[in-house]
């Protein structure tokens, strides 16, 4: 671990020259590269755009516009001002900018990248609802230029931090994947019965399906009556919930369908088969819920938590794959959903299974929640040392 005293020693007495980026580099823009261009010219050379997923890459083509070492930034959209270090042969689209240093022996590209990672977001203009960071603003950003040996050492330290953070993230995600696979295996095993082992019934025989109505995201308020929108089931909630993240006015709530303790909330639509009819066991007070969503109200033959776990199984996933329809918007007809057959062991056995699965679920959730916290902690640690290493005395403009 790097110590503050080591950083102080590294920067002690260092003379720093300040210049605007426009004084030390040439700024360029990319060109329009359409989806059709990508499809017709598939090749080996990456094309970078304004997205941040996959390091900004949107595809590969058989030509390249740039070859060498550069710093690249996104000019438009939600990710405007995001900075990347690039090296090699590649192209960029018209919503990206490129920085080519006039003298890379005096200013290190990686050093510039780390500095701009702090600075560019401060210069993004968000007027008219479309964030932008154009060349005429980027060229005004002031750049510290310490001696090259200092730049090299700072880059070495920050590269090390970056690699360690990436390694930790990969290890934690691998651990999470292993735990989830283990959990899914034991859940499926516990919920698998032979035909003659227990009684089997369709969902239509063990409960009532209530279709939601009316509620849209724009209806949410800061406080009021607890509410759930269908998309939140597979993007926000886990297996069970007792509280909602959203609310609606009391006036609107009067017009909406209600769910109560023990209901199972289901996402009636999604963009993929995996998420459609995702279950959420509701264990709180009365709430309202949106259209494109259902509340399944089980009768006294089946435990709510037991049925929620059943609707997470591989068996139910295969059922969804068989009966889901649609292309961009995936649905399963409610009538078809109610034909899904489930095993009904005695309530005492259902409770025993639930107790075991609750333990597994809690373990998986603790890892799932711990992963983002651990990654965020490492990221904050990295940013702290990065900012400390790049904390040069400012000169008056």
Question: Taking the mean position of all CA atoms in its chain, how far away is CA 392?
Answer: 34
Are residues 225 and 306 both part of a single domain? yes
Burial code (b: 16+ CB inside 10 Å, e: under 16) for 210-245 equals: bebeebeeebbeeebbbbbbbbbbbeebebbbeebe
Are residues 229 and 308 both part of a single domain? yes
Give the structural domain span for 304. 194-344
Cα–Cα distance list, 154 to 35, 101, 147 (Å): 39, 19, 11
Does 188 map to a domain? no
Does 108 map to a domain? yes
Calculate the CA dihedral of residues 213, 217, 221, 224 and round it to 10 degrees. 30
Does 211 map to a domain? yes
Q: Where are the beta strands (DSSP E) in 212-250?
A: 225-228, 240-241, 246-248
Q: Kindly report the CATH number assigned to the domain that includes residue 328.
A: 3.90.220.20
Are residues 313 and 353 both part of a single domain? no
Does 180 map to a domain? no
Round to whole Å and give the CA distance between 227 and 258. 9
Are residues 62 and 209 both part of a single domain? no
Instruction: Decide which of 301, 328, 344 is a domain's last residue.
Output: 344
Look at the block and give the residue holding tokens 């009391």.
250
Give pLDDT tens digits along the chain (397 positions). Answer: 455 545 566 767 778 899 999 999 999 999 999 999 999 999 999 999 988 778 999 999 999 999 999 999 999 888 899 999 999 999 999 999 999 999 999 999 999 999 999 999 999 987 766 889 999 999 999 999 999 999 999 999 899 988 988 888 888 888 878 888 888 999 999 999 998 899 999 999 999 999 999 888 889 998 999 999 999 999 999 899 999 999 999 999 999 999 999 999 999 999 899 999 999 999 999 999 999 999 999 999 999 999 999 999 999 999 999 999 988 899 999 999 999 999 999 999 999 999 999 988 887 777 666 776 777 787 888 888 888 888 877 665 5
Retrieve residue 358's tokens: 């609750």
Are residues 120 and 24 both part of a single domain? yes
Does 178 map to a domain? no
Domain count across the chain: 3
Long-range contacts of 104-108 (CB under 8 A, 24+ apart): 104/69, 105/148, 106/24, 106/145, 106/148, 107/24, 107/143, 107/145, 107/151, 108/148, 108/151, 108/152, 108/155
Cα–Cα distance list, 202 to 9, 199, 260, 341 (Å): 72, 10, 22, 4
Does 304 map to a domain? yes
Are residues 338 and 200 both part of a single domain? yes
Could you tell me the pTM of the whole model?
0.66
Tally of CB atoms within 10 A around 388: 13
Are residues 24 and 3 both part of a single domain? no
Are residues 135 and 223 both part of a single domain? no
Phi, psi of 266 (to 5 degrees): -130, 135
Are residues 251 and 308 both part of a single domain? yes
Query: At 181, which helix (H) or strand (E)?
Result: helix 148-190
Are residues 368 and 389 both part of a single domain? yes
Cα–Cα distance list, 150 to 55, 69, 86, 166 (Å): 27, 20, 21, 24
Does 184 map to a domain? no
Does 187 map to a domain? no
Quick: pLDDT tens for 220-249.
Answer: 998 999 999 999 999 999 899 999 999 999
Round to whole Å and give the CA distance between 242 and 216. 21
Are residues 319 and 380 both part of a single domain? no
Are residues 213 and 329 both part of a single domain? yes
* DSSP calls for 294-331: EEEEE-TTS-HHHHHHHTTSHHHHHHHHHH-B-SSSEE
């Amino acid at each position: 671990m790097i110590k503050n005293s080591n950083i102080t020693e590294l920067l002690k007495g260092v003379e720093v020259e300040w210049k605007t980026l426009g004084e030390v580099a040439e700024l360029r823009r990319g060109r329009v590269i359409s989806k059709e261009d990508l499809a017709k010219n598939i090749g080996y050379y990456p094309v970078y755009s304004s997205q941040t997923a996959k390091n900004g890459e949107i595809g590969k083509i058989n030509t390249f516009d740039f070859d060498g070492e550069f710093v690249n930034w996104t000019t438009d959209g939600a990710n405007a001002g995001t900075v990347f270090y690039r090296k090699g042969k590649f192209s960029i689209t018209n919503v990206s900018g490129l920085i080519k240093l006039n003298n890379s022996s005096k200013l290190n590209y990686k050093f510039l990248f780390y500095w701009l990672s702090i600075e560019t977001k401060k210069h993004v203009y968000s007027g008219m609802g479309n964030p932008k960071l154009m060349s005429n603003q980027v060229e005004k950003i002031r750049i510290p230029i310490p001696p090259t040996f200092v730049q090299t050492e700072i880059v070495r330290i920050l590269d090390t931090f970056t690699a360690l953070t990436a390694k930790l993230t990969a290890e934690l995600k691998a651990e999470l994947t292993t735990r989830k696979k283990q959990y899914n295996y034991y859940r499926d095993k516990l919920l698998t019965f032979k035909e003659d082992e227990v009684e089997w019934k369709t969902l239509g025989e063990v409960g009532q399906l209530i279709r939601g109505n009316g509620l849209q995201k724009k209806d949410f308020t800061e406080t009021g009556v607890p509410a759930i929108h269908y998309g939140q089931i597979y993007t926000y909630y886990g297996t069970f919930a007792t509280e909602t993240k959203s609310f609606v006015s009391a006036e609107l709530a009067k017009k909406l369908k209600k769910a109560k303790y023990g209901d199972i909330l289901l996402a009636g639509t999604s963009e993929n088969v995996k998420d459609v009819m995702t279950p959420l066991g509701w264990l709180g007070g009365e709430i309202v819920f949106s259209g494109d969503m259902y509340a399944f109200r089980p009768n006294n033959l089946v435990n709510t938590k037991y049925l929620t776990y059943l609707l997470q199984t591989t068996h139910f996933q295969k059922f969804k794959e068989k009966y889901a329809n649609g292309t961009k918007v995936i649905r399963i007809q409610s009538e078809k959903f109610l034909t899904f057959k489930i095993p009904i062991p005695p309530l005492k056995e259902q409770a025993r299974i639930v107790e075991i699965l609750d333990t597994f679920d809690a373990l998986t959730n603790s890892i799932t929640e711990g992963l983002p916290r651990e990654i965020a902690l490492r990221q904050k640690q990295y940013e702290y040392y990065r900012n400390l290493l790049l904390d040069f005395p400012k000169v008056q403009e």
